[in-house]
Amino acid sequence: MGHGHGHGNHGVVEVGQRARTILIGFLAVVAAFAVAGLIWLWPSGAELDQALNRVVDAPGVTYEDATIDAVTEGCAEDFEGSPRCLTLAITITTGDDADSTRTIELSGPTAHNGLRAGDSIEVARIPTDEGPYYSFSGVNRLPVLLILTLLFVAAVLAVARLRGLMALVGLGIAAWVLVGFMLPAIIVGKPGMAVALAGSTVIMYIVLYVAHGISLRTSAALAGTMLGLAVTTALGAIAVAAARLSGFADENEYDLGTLAPAIDFQDLLMVGIIIGGLGVLNDVTITQASAVWELRAAAPQWSRLEVFRAGMRIGRDHIASTIYTIVFAYAGGALAVLLLLYFTTREPLDLFGVEMFAGEGVRTLASAIGLILSVPITTGIAALTVGPAKVLTEPRHIED
């Protein structure tokens, strides 16, 4: 096997010419199919409009901003079954009734928002024969989200610098692919798995190459990601069919089915499995490829098998920590659902067969298996891509 040269962060790493050719050819073919899928599946504006049953407010209803002047426990009338009720004195700040004061009542979940005097809220103005009626619509949370976003960007730039900036650029493009292509394509009824694979592939190409640069090391990580994604997709499809999952886990799916009847919810479940595995796969594969590259730079005398074994030792630690990440991320996101296990007379183990739990189990386990197998796949690809062992004839100097 011939060899060329590739540059790592530390020293110079030789790369196998034949392996490089095969790797680049494989990624080129995958990219061509992904772009073709994007072109074929991209929905038109007319298709999207036709597929949507939009929620339309009653005639004359508008949404205005208001400021809370005071919060009082209790309401003028009791709301049956509600453990708490609040009365808000508010000042309307926009619309026809700007600067006027009103009183609105909150019950149920909205009474537990922790609202205080001075908070900015949104209210619905509903015209009636007796004059406009105002009801609580939501809290203005944009300032908090904006501050957190700015802190996130500042932390990324301060710690990761240029690499962090490029990661943010890649994330922005990936979000555009998700919102501009994948979600509309699912809504109009395009084949869900094809949409997910085409969109996810394009996202991974963009994110990895933009954030980590165009190199054979990144290409090895990308190939490992694609193969890991293929494993996740295959396992997910088999599990969804074998478990007879419908994709309707809670009332949100039923509401969505009414608003967008063209959606295939089994496909939607598969899309969730595929997208859910992307972030963790990306993390694992780029780490493994980088580890192999650094090992080769530090020990050019090692055989590819030795490099692979050393990389797998790193990978096993990474797998162990990432499994905890997957499980606890799900547990945190589904905490309210998990608490319901304590309020039933049925055995908790029996309830895991209910679609609400079984769907998340399939999603989590399929992603985890794809993640685990991506470690040896990526490590093997990277070990084959770096050049063969060579005999050192002079001391090497490794720059920091």
**pLDDT band at 36; cut points 50, 70, 90:** very high
**How crowded is residue 226: how many other Cβ atoms within 10 Å of its Cβ?**
23
Residue 354 reports pLDDT greater than 80: no
pLDDT of residue 394: 55
pTM: 0.76
In the chain, % of residues over pLDDT 90: 23
145 Cβ partners below 8 Å, 6+ apart?
none
Q: What is the pLDDT of residues 134-147, one digit of tens each?
A: 888 888 888 899 99
- CATH classification code of 62-139: 2.40.50
d(CA 103, CA 111): 14
Residue 77 reports pLDDT greater than 80: no
Q: Which two tokens stand for residue 170?
A: 């890649």
Give the distance from CA 222 to its chain's centroid. 18
* Residue carrying the six token digits 């979000």: 175
Sign of CA dihedral 299, 302, 303, 308: negative
d(CA 311, CA 293): 9
d(CA 107, CA 85): 4
Q: What is the pLDDT of residues 261-316, one digit of tens each?
A: 888 888 888 888 888 778 778 888 998 998 998 888 888 888 888 999 999 999 88
**How crowded is residue 5: how many other Cβ atoms within 10 Å of its Cβ?**
10
The full set of domain ranges for the chain reads 17-43+143-385, 62-139
Q: Which two tokens stand for residue 257?
A: 């089915």
**How crowded is residue 3: how many other Cβ atoms within 10 Å of its Cβ?**
16
Q: How many angstroms separate the Cα of 262 from the Cα of each of 53, 192, 220, 266, 397?
A: 11, 11, 38, 12, 62
DSSP state for residue 287 in the 8-state scheme: H
Residue 336 reports pLDDT greater than 80: no
d(CA 88, CA 113): 13
Residue 242: enclosing H or E segment and its boundaries? Answer: helix 216-242
For residue 88, the SS3 value is strand
Pick from 56, 54, 55, 58: nearest CA to 133: 58
